[in-house]
Structure 1
Amino acid sequence: MILYGGNVVKKAALWYILIICLRVSAKNGVTQDQVSSRTNTLFDDVDDTQKQLDNEVRERLAQPKTVWVIHIPTRFPVLQLEDLSVTEPTFINTALVRSRREYQLGNPELEDPIISNNTTPCENVEEESSSEEGNVCDSDRTESEKPSEPEKCEEQEEKPGDDWTFDTQHKWHENFPDCAGQSQSPVDLPIAGLIKTRGARKLLFVNYNEIPNNLTLIYNGRNVILTGNWPRDRTPAVYGGAAHSRRYLFHSLVVYWPSEHTIATLHYPMETQALHVSAEYGSFEEAVANSPKDPLAFLGVVNIYKFDSETQAGLRTIINSAQKCKKWSVSMKPMPLSVFSPPFKEYVCYQGSLPIPPCTESVLWMIRRRSLTVNRESSLAFHSMLLGDDPPQKVFIRVAQALNDRHIYFFR
């Protein structure tokens, strides 16, 4: 009986020990960290929360972000641009250029250079024009086809704000602040280093063969200006090319002696500038008023003339119509604009300004690559008309302005 009782005590003791061990193990599983042998505290819970927040922040910052940089062209279309493969001259012999005239605007390997005497009269007048009127010399015309003499000569009155002169161009900025801008015209055009463009749309000259209702030639003592009156739907216009899809309507054509734009610092005998106004504006004044927010309010088409044996038909018509009056306004026989500014395909282009006050910096200039022709007699006759009774040192052009950070683009 005693032995039996001893066994019972031993068994009971073993059960109690087992129960105590199980309770201790359960207690340790609740109060200790699963990855650490030490007991958890309140600070451990705070640290875990902070680590979790830090991880979330890192994940957010580590996420890559896509930044889109969109360049919207305001001057020229995004084209495939490449530098012309030309050799930059380290020194330009002015005497050589003046005598031989072998340099050209753009690639020397291109045909029909803008400076070349190895051409026949009127060879440089483009064949792109659909009208033969703008492509013939006066020598090819019959007497009945040649422009008639001016019908009348009227005195031209000065308008308010027209009291400036080319002699005082260094003071223009005092009354016209834009004249001191960084994108002024005219400029000196380099013979190398132009940016060649590819993929541009075709340059179109619309209604350039339309005959106007009337033509008027005005001399205000500073400029010789040709204006005309066309029906609104038949007004000569230019669009395409560097002008994108914007349409520009003809405003006036100004004749200069000598050229305002120079090539490798050299002036040419004469130059004409056909100014066009964006079609969205109803007048020249409206375009000037909107120019601060519109850098392409105007389009200028430049024709540079070189000496040759014959004078281009349109320029000869203007010179013949000019009278040796102090200030005059002449009515001319209506003729298409293509006679005075023949269309072209190849040209250089840059962003500039009006070359006279108010010097608005909102003009896209296109200078034809192939020059037109003028003989010395016609050039001297035009110069004599400009001089009149004034002293011979009078200036009739604005000097070339700094190109600064602007680029010259070549289109063909």
Structure 2
Amino acid sequence: WHLHLQIHFSCSPLSSSVSDWCYQSQYTCNNTCTGPARWGKVSEHCDGRTQSPVNIVRKRVLPDGRLTPFQLSDYLHRFRGHLVNNGHSVQLDLPSHIKISGGNLPVTYKALQLHLHWGKHGGPGSEHLIDGEQFPMEIHIVHLKEKYHSLSEALKDRAGLAVLGFFFQESESENKNFSPIINALEDIIQPYNSTMLDLSLAELIPDFKSLNEYFRYDGSLTTPSCAEAVVWTVFEHTIPLSRNQLSAFSKLKFSDGQPMINSYRPVQPLNGRQVYYSRGHLATTSNMLILLAALVTYSTL
């Protein structure tokens, strides 16, 4: 269990630039940028009532039979993508022919970009928590409704974006599928540097069969403008990365030149929102019970 500690410094906030938002790890007396507690000054949405990320408490989630498996289109397709240090995170632009549907999404959504949030040298750094546990890293694959031509258009719609979130877990061995991204980090240590990558989304996420178990809730972007326009899907199955691979991200620099560490927003209150859970595991359990019942019946004949 990892607790989020908010440290408040006694230096004056008056010298901060409102547009210059930052993470808590960047906030010092010498650098009074606008930290997460004051993001409402950057965008009023950040003080809204349906903000992300959240702590997902298993005992309080409701199973929802409408949360069926996703249809992932062109996730196996290899593409050449633009990887950039955008000053706040690592971002990979995605081709719009990659699409998702199903999973009780209202329409088909097309891919826009993916980015990551992490801790310090492989320490706690995910944005969402499960029962108070913070994972080392979290990837967000951002999609917008197929009909929209821009992010700004999608952000005006309460369900304009569909974001798939996956947690990382430290593993003994390296995850070779992530080698292209890890190796490319050397080229984008400095803010606003970029490079090109060849890969497919399927290589980066867990096996398709394990994508039936996920949490769903309505929320927001986790960085300013914090627009409340996101249908969130947070998957249970984690992505393995070695300690060295996780630590590689901590070599990057924020836009202010400081080490890019602890790049996550603290969890936000649910304010009465319900988190739902897909019934993937329940269906499997009931199938097993039917099978066991059949075996018992057969053995007593």
How has the CA–CA distance of structure 1 residues 181 and 345 changed in structure 2, closer, same or farther, with 3 Å as cutoff? same
Look up the SS of the partner of 2:126 in the other structure.
coil
RMSD (Å), alpha carbons:
2.4
Would you say the 8 A contact 1:352–1:363 is kept in 2?
yes
Q: How does 1:276-295 map to 2 (within 5 A)?
A: 276-288=143-155, 291=156, 294-295=157-158
CA contact (8 A) 1:299 1:363 kept: yes
* Equivalent AA in structure 1 for residue 102 of structure 2: G
> Which one of 82, 87, 94 corresponds to residue 216 of structure 1?
82
Q: Does structure 1 conserve the Cα–Cα contact (< 8 Å) formed by 2:83 and 2:93?
A: yes
Distance 1:237 1:394, change over 3 A: closer
Offset from partner CA, 1:22-73 (integer Å, 9 cap, x none): xxxxxxxxxxxxxxxxxxxxxxxxxxxxxxxxxxxxxxxxxxxxxxxxxxxx
If each structure's strand is expressed as a fraction of its own residues, which one has the higher value?
2
Answer yes or no: is the 8 Å Cα contact 1:216–1:329 preserved in 2. Answer: no
Shift of 1:314: 4.1
Match of 1:153 in 2: none
Mapped contact 2:54–2:269 kept (Cα < 8 A): yes
1:159-308 matched pairs, under 5 angstroms: 163-167=20-24, 168-212=35-79, 214-228=80-94, 230=95, 235-244=97-106, 246-257=107-118, 258-288=125-155, 291=156, 294-308=157-171
Change (3 A) 1:217 1:392: closer
Shift of 1:334: 2.2
Distance verdict in 2 for CA 1:199–1:303, change over 3 Å: closer
Structure 1 residues 317-332: aligned runs within 5 Å: 317-323=180-186, 325-332=189-196
Contact 1:261 1:400 (C-alpha < 8 Å) held by counterparts = yes
Relative contact order, higher structure (CA 8 A, sep 6+): 2
Q: Measure, in 1, the Cα distance between the counterparts of 2:67 and 2:245.
A: 37
Gap runs ≥5 in structure 2: 3-17, 25-34, 119-124, 281-301
Amino acid at match of 2:48: G
SS at match of 2:222: coil
Q: 1:387 to 1:374 in 2, by over 3 A?
A: farther
Corresponding residue for residue 340 of structure 1: 204
Structure 1 residues 340 and 198: CA distance shift in structure 2, 3 A: same
CA distance in 1 between partners of 2:194 and 2:256 (Å): 20
Q: Which residue of 2 aligns with 1:70?
A: none
% of aligned pairs identical? 25
Question: Using a 3 Å threshold, how does the CA distance of structure 1 residues 262 and 202 change in structure 2: closer, same or farther?
Answer: closer
One-letter amino acid matched to 1:296: A
**Distance 1:175-1:392 versus aligned 2 partners, 3 A rule:** closer
For residues 51 and 272 of structure 2, the distance between their equivalents in structure 1, rounded to whole angstroms, comes to 12
8 Å CA contact 1:313–1:339 kept in 2: the answer is no
Q: How many residues align?
A: 244
Return closer, same or farther for 1:370/1:395 CA change in 2, 3 Å cut-off: closer
State the TM-score, normalized to the length of structure 1.
0.55
TM-score between both structures, scaled by the size of structure 2: 0.74
Match of 1:383, SS state, is helix
Following TM superposition, the consecutive aligned residue runs of length 4 or more in structure 1 with deviations greater than 3 angstroms are 199-202, 311-316, 386-395
Deviation of 1:222 after TM superposition, in Å, equals 1.2
Letter in 1 for 2:89: N
Q: CA deviation at 1:177?
A: 0.3
Output the amino acid matched with 1:252: Q
Distance in 2 between the 1:251 and 1:393 partners? 23
